[in-house]
Amino acid sequence: MVDASVILKWVLGDEREPDHEKAIRLLHAWVQGSVTIAAPMLWQFEVGNILGRAIPEEAPEKTGLVMDLNIQSIVLTDRACRLCFGWMRTKGVTFYDAAYLAAAYDTKAMLVTADERFVKKIGKSDHLCLLKSIDV
């Protein structure tokens, strides 16, 4: 499972971006079939929003590139929504960010994120790791 922070590293193309190389290696591992990549459906909206604001002229092309990857979209369950609301209340995170982690819990997957603030807010979790910490 990945969130928008990882997907954006695939298309923004800034090699100076922290952990850009790890994100690209993760993408290659997925293309080669050695890892599975999925995300809640909201990734499309988050990525499109950020690309539209950061690089409006290139946003349609870049969005098309990630859409063509056919990332498996996860639909949030009632249980996942309850987890999100719980984390919003106890950890002070947004529903959007919590949705990625809840989807990881629901599918017994690991969420890989580049969002260090989110990881700090959530704390230790068997379903969450920072992009910079993975071995790809």
Mean predicted confidence (pLDDT) in 50-64: 95
Domain containing residue 45: CATH number: 3.40.50.1010
Sequential DSSP letters for 69-133: T-PEEEPPPHHHHHHHHHHHHHH---HHHHHHHHHHHHTT--EEE--HHHHHHH-S-TTEEEGGG
Mean pLDDT of the chain: 94
> Considering its fold, how many domains does the chain have in total?
1
pLDDT in tens, 8-24: 999 987 766 788 899 99
Please give the residue range of the domain that contains residue 55: 4-133
Which pLDDT score is estimated for 133?
Answer: 93
pLDDT class for 126, splitting at 50, 70, 90? very high
Which pLDDT score is estimated for 15?
Answer: 67
Q: Is the pTM of this model over 0.75?
A: yes
